[in-house]
């Protein structure tokens, strides 16, 4: 759910971006209510500043979603390949196949919100 140095691939049909973002909100609420300061991910080292880590992760996801929406608006008839090139222009192209999986979760969320 929360990884060291990267983001979880949210991969439909099992992965749902709205559910993922909601789960981050639940974790943030738990951190605040229980004064939890650390995250112990299944991979990697202990993360301090649990609330800050969660907030940064959610902000990153929403910023990426804004880039995806902008790509969709710029190329309304575009394909996932077209959109990934615009929305993930800040990551190496070799990562795009995985990025497209999470991008699909964002696209489904954006369409559901309309």
**Residue pLDDT, tens place only, 38-61:** 999 888 899 999 999 999 999 999
Is residue 91 within 8 Å of 99, Cβ to Cβ?
yes
Write out the residue range of the structural domain in which residue 87 sits: 17-113
* Number of domains making up the chain: 1
**Residue pLDDT, tens place only, 77-107:** 999 999 999 999 999 999 999 999 999 999 9
Q: Phi-psi region for residue 46, left (φ > 0), alpha (ψ -120 to 50) or beta?
A: beta
Residue 1 has pLDDT above 80, yes or no: no
In a domain, 33, yes or no: yes
pTM of the entire predicted model: 0.92
Distance of CA 75 to the CA centre of its chain: 21
In a domain, 82, yes or no: yes
In a domain, 25, yes or no: yes
In a domain, 79, yes or no: yes
In a domain, 107, yes or no: yes
CATH code where residue 87 lies: 1.10.10
In a domain, 10, yes or no: no
In a domain, 2, yes or no: no
């Amino acid at each position: 759910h929360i990884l060291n140095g990267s983001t979880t691939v949210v991969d439909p049909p099992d992965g749902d971006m709205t559910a993922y973002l909601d789960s981050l909100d639940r974790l943030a609420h738990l951190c605040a209510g229980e004064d939890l300061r650390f995250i112990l991910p299944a991979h990697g080292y202990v993360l301090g500043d649990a609330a800050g880590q969660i907030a940064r992760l959610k902000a990153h996801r929403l910023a990426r979603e804004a880039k995806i929406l902008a790509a969709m608006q710029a190329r309304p008839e575009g394909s996932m390949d077209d959109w990934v090139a615009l929305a993930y222009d800040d990551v190496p192209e070799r990562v795009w196949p995985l990025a497209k999986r999470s991008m699909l979760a964002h696209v489904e969320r954006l369409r559901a919100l309309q």
